[in-house]
Amino acid sequence: MSQPAAKPSSDKPCSNRPSPQLGDILARLTALHPKRIDLTLDRMWRILERLDHPERKLPPVIHVAGTNGKGSTVAYLRAILEAAGLRVHVYTSPHLVRINERFRLNGVLVSDDELRSALVHCETVNGGAPITVFEMETAAAFTLFAQHPADVVLLEVGLGGRLDATNVIDKPLASVIAPIGIDHREFLGDTLTQIATEKAGIIKKGVPVVYAEQPVEAAAVIERQAGRLHAPLHGCGQSWHVNVERSRLVYQDDRGLLDLSAPRLFGRHQFDNAGLAIATLRATDLLSINAQAFEAGIARAQWPARMQRLPAGPLIASGPADSEVWLDGGHNVDGGRVVAAALGDLEERVPRPLVVIVGMMGNKDAAGFLANFAGQTRHIIAVPIPDQDNAMTPAALADAARTLGMRVETADSVESALHSLTQLAYETPPRILITGSLYLAGSVFAANGSLPQ
């Protein structure tokens, strides 16, 4: 059964900084390379050799790439596997509040002591050689996973795929590709074909490739790469199908039909992500998952900051009474599209005025993201992202919103934005979406006094 992360030990807002000891280690590791992101596998192969190749001693691996939906797909995979009684290690990124969120050992977040020990070991073995902090974290994940027995490892790509630090597994159980869209152009390219080429770089010879519904250009790249490597293809709309019928998830492939409860995660796109997880587990002969495990896992899966209704807390209390506050870490055009569709579903059920509080990183397409909400609201409040030097300024965000004819204001924090709404007269308490960045989402969790589950 899926186990939640530990909850804060007090009612005080939790910090979004690591413990002092972990913070010191991460500061040292960050100083080892001048760039936060530098895509190549040379440094990974070097440190893995010095570590005696822990990546070769892992349980069977499911490797997941894509632009949107990677994390949710991993959450469904984990919940289904655990419902089937299997032990599961998980490596994901980025974290929202604590770096520990990236590492799960048999379903439980790694402890500070275990993580510190693994990072220090990798640091010692590295001997001061240039390496990015993500590469060191990935090496630490492999070290931890090799030390603790499990049945499956779920491995999420950090950025791209072909040159991502996770792409060192020779023969995973499956290569999974979630929906591909335009994002991280400075690293992956300006076109869907270029970006898909990077994502499809995780495909391995003879290993099943399971992929979500894709734009035509992206699907063509995946299919060509799979053909070159003789990798069996399991594509949405071809080998498997997922639909919503009577508010239930109906999945079908050549093995038969599954009629399952709706996902706990909200939004039509979550049916698609759940379908991708189901297709993955049915594409490999090593795992035998019964219908009851699929049912339980889909209903239980959680993934924070993906159309998540926020509970009461200090931050929520600063906004209008009885308002609905939702949090989503979407930060690109396609991510905004699926969130806007989910909000449309909410509006059909229970109409409320919508306010969007948004903060974004400086390299994102703010106008393209906000255009998704133009038909639902004209009230945008632009905020900064705390502790992020590369965040877009509220003024720049506001300019992007104005080009779309939206009413826009700026505030110096999410709390200030929420408080400003208490000064307005609403006949019905508003529905408030906080969105635009996972970094912003992490600061919201911290300010509201809760850790993501």
More confident residue, 90 or 312: 90
pLDDT band at residue 10 using 50, 70 and 90 as cut-offs:
very low
Mean pLDDT of 253-262: 96
What φ, ψ does residue 167 adopt, rounded to 5°? -85, 55
Same fold, 20-300 and 308-447: no
Give the pLDDT confidence of 387-405 residue by residue, as tens digits.
999 999 999 999 999 999 9
Q: Where are the domains of the chain?
A: 20-300, 308-447
Q: Would you state the pLDDT for residue 78?
A: 98
Look at residues 451, 440, 393 and name the one whose alpha carbon lies nearest to residue 415. 440
Instruction: Say if residue 220's pLDDT is above 50.
Output: yes
Instruction: Say if residue 302's pLDDT is above 70.
Output: yes
User: Within a 10 A sphere around the Cβ of 178, how many other Cβ atoms?
Assistant: 27
Mean pLDDT of 374-383: 94
Mean pLDDT of 222-233: 98
* Superfamily of 20-300 according to CATH: Mur-like, catalytic domain (3.40.1190.10)
Instruction: Say if residue 16's pLDDT is above 70.
Output: no
**Is 151 exposed, middle or buried (CB count within 10 Å of its CB: 0-12, 13-18, 19+)?**
middle
Instruction: Say if residue 1's pLDDT is above 60.
Output: no
What φ, ψ does residue 216 adopt, rounded to 5°? -55, -45
Q: Would you state the pLDDT for residue 18?
A: 62
Q: Would you state the pLDDT for residue 94?
A: 94
The residue type found at 166 is: T
Mean pLDDT of 338-366: 96
Q: Are the C-beta atoms of 448 and 310 separated by less than 8 Å? A: yes
Q: How far, in Å, CA of 118 to CA of 107, rounded?
A: 18
Q: Would you state the pLDDT for residue 8?
A: 31
Instruction: Say if residue 15's pLDDT is above 60.
Output: no
Mean pLDDT of 291-318: 95
Instruction: Say if residue 2's pLDDT is above 90.
Output: no
Report the C-alpha dihedral over residues 80, 81, 83, 84, rounded to 10 degrees: 120
pTM across the whole model: 0.93
Mean pLDDT of 343-358: 96
Q: How far, in Å, CA of 88 to CA of 105, rounded?
A: 7
Structure tokens at 234: 């399991």
Q: Are the C-beta atoms of 421 and 320 separated by less than 8 Å? A: yes
Q: How far, in Å, CA of 392 to CA of 11, rounded?
A: 31
pLDDT band at residue 323 using 50, 70 and 90 as cut-offs:
very high
CATH class belonging to 308-447: alpha beta
Beta-bridged to residue 59, according to DSSP, are none
Q: What percent of the chain has pLDDT over 70?
A: 95
The residue type found at 344 is: G
More confident residue, 13 or 141: 141
Q: Would you state the pLDDT for residue 453?
A: 58
Q: How far, in Å, CA of 269 to CA of 130, rounded?
A: 40
Report the C-alpha dihedral over residues 28, 32, 37, 40, rounded to 10 degrees: -140
Instruction: Say if residue 27's pLDDT is above 80.
Output: yes
Q: Would you state the pLDDT for residue 21?
A: 84
Q: What percent of the chain has pLDDT over 90?
A: 90
Q: Would you state the pLDDT for residue 287?
A: 85
The mean pLDDT of the chain is 93
Look at residues 174, 178, 199 and name the one whose alpha carbon lies nearest to residue 70. 178
For residue 241, the surrounding DSSP H or E stretch is strand 240-245
Q: How far, in Å, CA of 97 to CA of 76, rounded?
A: 21
User: Within a 10 A sphere around the Cβ of 205, how many other Cβ atoms?
Assistant: 10
Look at residues 417, 363, 410, 361 and name the one whose alpha carbon lies nearest to residue 388. 361
Instruction: Say if residue 7's pLDDT is above 60.
Output: no
